[in-house]
Amino acid sequence: MSLQQLLEIAPPLPSPIDAGRAEQWKVVEAALKTQLPSDYKNLVSNYGVGYFGNYVTVLNPFYPEHQYPSILALYKKSYD
């Protein structure tokens, strides 16, 4: 499925959460010493962080690290 198809069937929020900006991607890629795929960056830019139907999670480098424990707790709870 292309990003365009996804945008049509699952429109993103008007203001995606933690979507990052172009200059932030440069910092992340410099820290990783690699360029990230453009399709991933476009997905994050359009959707930010979030879930698709509680099954697919889109995390990105702009999501606050202090939130990861709460995500882990949700995953653990869903598998109990």
The pLDDT of residue 15 is above 70: yes
Tokens linked to 68 = 């990861």
The H or E element containing residue 51 is strand 50-52
Counting Cα atoms < 13 Å in the Cβ hemisphere of 61 gives: 16
pLDDT for 3 equals 92
Which position has the higher pLDDT, 58 or 7? 7
Percentage of the chain modeled with pLDDT above 70: 89
Report which DSSP code applies to 56.
E
Give the residue-averaged pLDDT of 44-49: 91
**Strand blocks (E) in the chain:** 50-52, 56-58
Q: Is a pLDDT exceeding 80 seen at residue 48?
A: yes
pLDDT of res. 41: 95
Report residue 62 as tokens: 């702009």
Torsion of CA 3, 52, 36, 23, to 10 degrees: 90
Is the pLDDT at 71 greater than 70? The verdict is: no
